Structure 1
Amino acid sequence: MHYKLGLIGFPVKHSLSPWIHRQFLKKAGLAGDYAIVEIAPGDSFEQKLQQIKHSQFDGFNVTVPYKKQIMPYLDQLDDNAKAIGAVNTVVQKDGKWIGYNTDGMGYITSLKQHYPSIFQNQACRILLIGAGGAARGLFFGLTTAGFTRVDIANRTLSSAETIAELGKKETNTAIMTLEEAEKQLHQYDLIIQTTNVGMKPNADDMILSLDQVGKNTIVSDIVYQPIETKFLHQAKQKGADVLYGHVMLLYQAQYAFELWTSQRVPAHDMEQDLKTVLGGR
């Protein structure tokens, strides 16, 4: 079998997903390739999807701005994707398209790889910064993993409130403004920046100051270009531990690859290689 895989989104020309999945194919000893299908805002989304269907892709990833837009075109949704309200992976099975979301699982795996001890205290305090699609996936992943205190800070409180509704009975979530969060950072064990603030070419931007962050707090940023964002750089200066965005990227891709091929390839040994590839960009 020759796997035909790909990525849809915009802009995605510089995505690292092709490099990651070609490495996975090689590791698994499978034939196949991973293509980029850029769908510009002026293109007909429906027409592009028809072309993908006729091209008989075995599966593809979905990134911004189409994680929600893709959903009505799918034949079936995994329960997690349905709850999160966003899809980042589509599997073709018996001519049907099935939607999944691997963001939360990918983040949890990256956290387990680097800071396993945090899972020993599931009542620890976690703060999500931002309330977009990524925050939804991470909130769902964290609460599904058993963490019971996950707060959300965002400019628009109503967006954060809709994410809080994903919580379980035992989940406690406080909603606050970015200004309020900035003053309370010392209270948190894990802080996760889930927006695209600080991404190249705006690498000098920060969503909030980390002046109040506690020593040994884990500070995480899902942005991976640059590898060390200004947010993570300031966290390190304050004595915090950091978790890089490219690590989450790698592990969410690992889950997607498993959905397509039923093979779980080891990814931990790829972290440094991915960092090297990123560093050259």
Structure 2
Amino acid sequence: MTDAGSTSGPVAGVIGQPIAHSLSPLIHNTWLKRFGLPGCYERREIAPEYFDRDVRSLLTQEGWVGMNVTLPHKQAACDFCDCLDPAARRLGAVNTIVTLSDGRFEGRNTDLYGFRTNLENAPGWSRTGRDAALVLGAGGAARAVVAALQDLGFRQIFIANRSLDKAQDLALALDYSNSLHAVAWAEIPGLLPKCDFLVNTTSLGMVGQPPLLIDLTRLPTGAFVTDIVYKPLETALLTQARARGNRVVDGLGMLLYQAVPGFQAWFNPPSTPVVDAQLRDNILKAMAV
């Protein structure tokens, strides 16, 4: 499925299982049209047992210049690639594959970039005075979020997860500065007063998933709150935080910004593609269908 774009020129796409829900074709094909560039961006469903065979076929026989990788393939993509960029090595996961000029396949991870850039472009965001962060969840998305918070200079980062061992594993994997602390889910109420940044990286609160049950009463009103969930765009967490005066940012921007580096690598636009209100509106309309 191309969704838009030209049948000539470079071809890239997104792979996963399932993949029909992916909004990536709309993002990339919108930018192709804006720049007037040839090429297209497709979806392709690939089963885990055929990952190596099918990905190699796309990149060689079908001539794709690269691809985005989503669940459940990010670890398999890490093992598949000939080399990794620093972010992919650090996180142990690949969400972007680029065919290099020498024919090798480089694995990259743009989730860290997407989360950080979304934050830095959020209205009201300021790094000043934000020293302690609380991260809900310890899955794959949490890795990129925690790494971004480390890069932003947070001195204390608490990782709360229902399975404490997963939080401990994440802290051990990324803690090069002794700033990460794995904590039990039950410790969240006691940590809220200490935190000036709160982020949900779990699927709780997403459409079709159980709610995220958390009382923000003890969170300082000056704390910044974000949720990587974008279906719904305004999660219950963000609604509760906004009502009590906290500044918030939704998760859609992370999806949009993480697409920027891949588009630049595959389609070589004359300038950086822009994440703007029009693109957000197009995505929101597609989500509403």
TM over 0.5: yes
1:226 paired to 2:232: yes
Q: Secondary structure at the match of 1:119?
A: coil
Which residue number corresponds to residue 256 of structure 1?
Answer: 262
Residues 1:199 and 2:175 are matched in the alignment = no
> 1:219-240: CA deviations, max 9, x gaps?
1111111111222222223322
Structure 1 residues 154 and 199: alpha-carbon distance in aligned structure 2, compared to 1, 3 A threshold: same
Q: Which segment is superposed worse, 43-52 or 151-160? A: 43-52
Give the equivalent residue in structure 2 for 1:214. Answer: 220
- CA 117–244 in structure 1, closer or farther in 2 if over 3 Å, else same: closer
Deviation at 1:117, TM superposition (A): 4.5
Q: Secondary structure at the match of 1:197?
A: coil
Q: CA RMSD in A?
A: 2.1
The one-letter code sitting in structure 1 at the alignment partner of 2:121 is Q
**Given residue 52 of structure 1, which amino acid in structure 2 is its aligned partner?**
L
Which of 109, 127, 133 lines up with 2:140 in the alignment?
A: 133
- Within 5 Å, which residues of 2 pair with 1:1-281? 2-40=9-47, 43-53=49-59, 54-94=61-101, 95-115=103-123, 117-121=125-129, 124-165=131-172, 166-169=174-177, 172-202=179-209, 205-206=211-212, 208-263=214-269, 264-270=272-278, 272-274=280-282, 276-278=284-286, 280-281=288-289
Determine helix, strand or coil for the equivalent of 1:64. Answer: coil
Structure 1 stretches of at least 4 aligned residues deviating more than 6 Å after TM superposition = none
> Does the Cα contact within 8 Å between 1:246 and 1:274 map onto a contact in 2?
no
1:248-275 deviation line (CA, Å, top 9, x unaligned): 1111111221232344212134454245
Is the CA contact (8 Å cut-off) linking 2:27 and 2:279 kept in structure 1?
A: no
The unaligned stretches of length 5 or more in structure 2 are: 1-7
Structure 1: gaps spanning 5 or more residues: none
**TM-score normalised over the length of structure 1:** 0.90
Structure 2 CA distance for aligned equivalents of residues 275 and 239 of structure 1:
27
Q: Is the 8 A contact 2:95 2:110 kept in 1?
A: yes
Conserved 8 A contact 2:23-2:283: no
- 1:201: Cα distance to partner? 1.9
Structure 1 residue 77 displacement after superposition: 0.6
Q: Cα–Cα, structure 1 residues 275 and 55, in superposed 2: closer, same or farther, change >3 Å?
A: closer
The residue type paired with residue 107 of structure 1 is F
Letter aligned with residue 30 of structure 1: L
Q: Does structure 2 conserve the Cα–Cα contact (< 8 Å) formed by 1:227 and 1:279?
A: no
- Counterparts of 2:143 and 2:157, CA distance in 1: 12
The change in CA–CA distance for 1:201 and 1:213 in structure 2 (over 3 A counts) is same
TM-score (norm 2): 0.87
After superposing the two structures, state which structure 1 stretch, 179-188 or 103-112, moved more: 179-188
Q: Which amino acid aligns with 2:244?
A: K
Letter in 1 for 2:219: V
Cα drift, residue 102 of structure 1? 0.6
Of residues 149-158 and 71-80 in structure 1, the stretch that sits farther from structure 2 once superposed is: 149-158
> Aligned equivalents of 2:167 and 2:236: distance in 1?
24
The offset of 1:34, in angstroms, is 0.9
Percent identity between the aligned chains?
35
Q: Which amino acid aligns with 2:12?
A: L
- Distance in 1 (alpha carbons) for counterparts of 2:88 and 2:222: 33
